[in-house]
Amino acid sequence: MYLWQQNQDPMTQPIQGFSKLDKAAKIDWLATHFTGDPEEAKKVLAQYWNTDRQLQQLHDEFIENTISNFYLPLGIAPNFKINDRLYALPMAIEESSVVAAASKAAKFWLDRGGFKARVLGTQKIGQVHFMFDGAPEKLDAFIESIQEVFITDTAAITKNMEKRGGGITGIVLRDKTAELQHYYQLHCTFETLDAMGANFINSCLEQFAETLQREAKTYRPFTADESTIEVVMSILSNYVPECLVRAEVECPVSELQLRPDISPAVFAEKMVRAVTIAEIEPHRAVTHNKGIMNGIDAVVLATGNDFRAVEAGVHAYAAKDGRYQSLTHASVTDGIFSFWIEIPLALGTVGGLTSLHPLVKLALEILGNPSAKELMQLVAVAGLAQNFAAVSSLVTTGIQEGHMKMHLMNILNQLHANAEEKKVLTAYFKKHTVTHSAVVSAFEKLRQP
């Protein structure tokens, strides 16, 4: 039953009970009130439904109020030699030239030793934020006295994780009263193995909060006021500076022959200088790191992980020294060019979409069903490769030459070029510079009688 009147203005009269409507009713309301051509809008939405009803229902149940599916291309970047093993990296992304750039970097380093990667740490963080109006030394003694109670109270939650070798690794009191009056936190660390672990960590934290408040009521050294602890919130942190992975490549400078018109020594100098600029100039660093995230996000998405959490943690890490700076670094020492990245990545290969989304399961299979540690290394390499490709283009031909050639097909599709026109114009722009205006001009000329 529709819960709105057809003559109501949706800009002034909100709909009641929208979530209770079936999909058809949701779409009918949306198309009727918010599109110029309701039937065309319904047609577009229906085009992206999966014909397999069971599969479509699975997708419908991932989130709330679903009306259709939103597709991203899933591409493959082959020839990644990582720790002496060959990989084909699945990448889900809408931006042209990203997969091509990653593939180009992978091919370049294939015969130069490939990429090396290693995990430096896997510790994840959660916090219980609370207010305490009392003596700090009493609070410190109290937290120390109930350490075992925290562990006992969460035993049912941590049992299975501990069987696999994970669990709670630390619970520390932090005094934050210098920044906010009466503010303290339990700073808690966890090992979640192959799971990203958000639900596990949050469940532990909420139990810590309950334990904290309960035990405070009977802690004899506390006064009546001190025994009332106000918990503000209990939540994991997506800033994981101790869940860290390093990826790197290196080779003799003499092997850095990317273009016949630029000597390896000059190219190496240009690369190091460009990366140094990103280390000292935040405006450049943001775009520099965005290019890194092109590669990272694409693999994170393809493997069903939370790219928003990864983005937030990575950018916080880029500013850890008080100024936002490059996540990659480059140097030349004793004739050896080195290029590397150290980056925090909290990823999972079990739980969440990894066991539900058919394409995610396939992507992980393509990668050899990696552990979370292995996936961290693969994702870090994708970011490093993407950055190498982008910076090497910037310091040689410029970013637009390669990017716009890859963008050519998008422009032709916007112009509704037919197959023959695409063939002619693709051949033409192999020898001419691609700009939007140049493509439009060539297209119009081609269509002239």
What type of residue is 325?
Q
| Exposed/middle/buried for residue 448 (C-beta within 10 Å: 0-12, 13-18, 19+) | exposed
Helix (H) or strand (E) holding 231: strand 230-237
Residue 306 falls in the annotated catalytic set: yes
Pick from 423, 209, 411, 246: nearest CA to 342: 246
Residue 432 falls in the annotated catalytic set: no
User: To which residue do tokens 């003499």 refer?
Assistant: 254
Helix (H) or strand (E) holding 76: strand 74-82
Residue 22 falls in the annotated catalytic set: no
Q: Name the active-site residue from 28, 60, 95, 242.
A: 95
Pick from 305, 309, 307, 297: nearest CA to 353: 305
| Exposed/middle/buried for residue 419 (C-beta within 10 Å: 0-12, 13-18, 19+) | exposed
CA distance 191 to 361: 23
Q: Name the active-site residue from 191, 248, 306, 374.
A: 306
CB of 128 closer than 8 Å to CB of 212 = yes
Residue 179 falls in the annotated catalytic set: no
CA distance 101 to 406: 10
Q: Name the active-site residue from 290, 315, 357, 361.
A: 290
3-state secondary structure 88-145: EEEEECCCCCHHHHHHHHHHHHHCCCCEEEEECCCCEEEEEEEECCCCHHHHHHHHHH
Active-site residues, by number, are 95, 290, 306, 403
